[in-house]
Homo-oligomer: A and B are copies of this chain.
Amino acid sequence: MTTSKAVAVIGGTGHLGGALARRWSQAGLAVTIGSRDGERASAAADALARETGHPVYGAANREAAAGADIVLVAVPFASQAEVLEDIRDSVQGSIVIDATVPLVPPRVMRVQLPPEGCAAQRAQSLLGDGVQVVAAFHNVAAHRLAAGEDVDCDVLVFGDKRDARARVVELAEAAGLRGIHAGALANSAAAEALTSVLIFINKHYQVDGAGVRITGNLQTG
């Protein structure tokens, strides 16, 4: 477990970032919430700390990222490049978990992967080789995660370095989810594309939290 290590959540006042920050804080991890607006981040951190009884810090994105050895970026696709450029210098040598799903409104039910192959490869290209990018958390329904419900969805974890992937698999487990080693960073295309498929399935079958499970009796965790 990585409970002694610090995790920063960039986009920590958003739906997915906020839900993961809460679960990690509940699990006892030292969490820093990052937001474009440092005061908003501090307010969210204070509220979360009162709720979980664990210290939570809040800061503007760049400062939040600088203090952590593992940094989750959970922002909309349209903000990905700007946010990553902002924290680029702060995260050299760190692991950055990119959770970006390349949804292109209004056609969010249609897979539209970026020219780089997938959003995770775009992140790696923007951050440079000094950063270990791992991609994960694309498919979990944020509102279910936030509600503290059991989330019937695996977390596919992609990255070119096995050790970095393993750290993120542990973080998924700390959030009450099953993390699965899913291969190279380029493979993130699968989970990113699957999110549009799940949005379609939610609409077609009139459900609100379709997810994905890998079968085959994997010995995980």
Contact = CB atoms under 8 A, between A and B. Distances in A.
B215 A213 contact: yes
B190 A196 contact: yes
B216 A111 contact: no
A176 to B, nearest CB: 15
A135 to B, nearest CB: 12
B113 A113 contact: yes
A207 to B, nearest CB: 5
A99 interface: no
Nearest to A218: B205
Interface in A167-221: 180-184, 186-187, 189-190, 193-194, 196-198, 200-202, 204-205, 207-220
A183 B218 contact: no
B189 A189 contact: yes
How many copies of this chain sit in the oligomeric assembly?
2
Contacts of A200: 181-184, 187
Interface string A116-140: 0110000000000000000000000
Interface string A138-164: 000000000000001100100000000
Of the candidates A110, A111, A152, A212, the one having the most CB atoms from chain B within 10 angstroms of its own CB is A111
Interface residues of A, number: 43
Nearest to A205: B218
Nearest to A210: B216
Contact of A215 (B113, B211, B219): B211
Given A156-B197, A193-B193, A213-B213, 16 more contacts: A109-B184, A109-B187, A110-B184, A111-B187, A111-B189, A152-B216, A181-B201, A184-B200, A189-B189, A189-B193, A190-B194, A190-B196, A201-B214, A207-B217, A211-B214, A213-B214
